[in-house]
């Protein structure tokens, strides 16, 4: 199996802090593929909130997302959409309604 790769830039003014890292890792966990996030030579498991936080990705940081597996393409498309939406999800869009 070949690896699929995409590059994203963090646009969130607070960077990839705890809340976005949690959303990112939770989304990555929905896929069977192995997914890694790479910053310079630092490579971490995208499915681990703590690992994602160790990247220290501030606003403007370029990250490479790499996935290997049956749903690698779909995984990267979903993660890129999340980053490009500035970590907006249906959940964060409806903040006033807690369940």
Instruction: Categorize the per-residue pLDDT at 99 as very low, low, confident or very high, splitting at 50, 70 and 90.
Output: very low
Burial class (CB in 10 A: 0-12, 13-18, 19+), 99: exposed
Which tokens is 24 given? 């990112």
- pTM of the predicted protein model: 0.88
Q: DSSP letter string over 16-67?
A: S-HHHHHHHHHHHTTSSSEEEEEETTEEEETT-HHHHHTT---TT-EEEEEE
pLDDT (tens digit per residue) in 68-94: 999 999 999 999 999 999 998 665 444
Q: Return the DSSP state at 76.
A: H
Indicate which residue of 5, 6, 11, 17 is catalytic: 17
pLDDT (tens digit per residue) in 38-54: 999 999 999 999 999 99
Question: In the chain, what are the domain boundaries?
Answer: 4-86
Annotation: CATH topology of 4-86? 3.30.1340
Q: Is 17 labeled as catalytic in the residue annotation?
A: yes
Using the structure block, give the residue that is written with the tokens 């220290």: 56
Cα separation of 98 and 52, whole Å? 27
């Amino acid at each position: 199996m070949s690896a699929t790769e995409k590059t994203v830039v963090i646009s969130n003014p607070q960077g990839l802090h705890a809340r976005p890292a949690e959303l990112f890792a939770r989304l990555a966990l929905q896929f069977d593929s192995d997914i890694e996030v790479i910053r310079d030579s630092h490579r971490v498991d995208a499915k681990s909130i703590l690992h994602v936080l160790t990247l220290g990705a501030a606003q403007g940081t370029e990250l490479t997302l790499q996935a290997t597996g049956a749903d690698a393409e779909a995984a990267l498309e979903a993660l890129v959409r999340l980053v490009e939406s500035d970590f907006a999800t249906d959940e964060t869009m409806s903040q006033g309604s807690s369940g």
